[in-house]
Amino acid sequence: MRVDIRPGPAAGFVKFSCQIGDGVGRWSGGEECSEGRFDVEFDVGLPVRWPAIEVLEPPVIDHLEVSSVDPLLVDVVGQVMDCDEAGVLSLAIGLTNLLLDTEGDPILEVVGQRVRVTGLAFELFPYEF
């Protein structure tokens, strides 16, 4: 995902903008980053508890945004593409796919539904083509 980076709200964090919204995350590119355009991979390291995943009624637009609860976290809205027996959720947010480890009892019939997942701690890993 191509993102525009600017200084973040805390040491080691950056704010970013991309085609699916605005967010904040920990920069994991080795060198400290303050500004620029980068191709990155998003990672969410900690498992998400199912109560933090809310099924939404249409119409809903896929996006991500800085959490209104904690300025170091991100909330996302996307379509569940798959949920395997190990609890890994594949979430399409626009043209981007995000894999989330989950904990707890999954919501039945969640595949194909649009959901909101709140309070994600993003890490951004830059890469080159």
Handedness of CA 71, 65, 73, 2 (dihedral sign): negative
Per the CB < 8 A criterion, the answer to whether 86 and 99 are in contact is no
**Neighbouring residues of 79: CB distance < 8 A, sequence distance ≥ 6:** 62, 91, 92, 112, 113, 114, 115
3-class secondary structure, 51? helix
Q: Give the mean pLDDT of the chain.
A: 90
High-pLDDT (> 70) share of the chain, %: 98
pLDDT given for residue 59 in this prediction? 87
pLDDT reported for residue 127: 85
Please, which pLDDT band fits residue 86 given cuts at 50, 70 and 90? confident
The number of helix segments (H) and strand segments (E) in the chain equals 0, 12
On whether the pTM is more than 0.95, the answer is no
pLDDT at 129 over 60: no
Q: How far is CA 27 from CA 15, 20, 37, in A?
A: 9, 19, 13
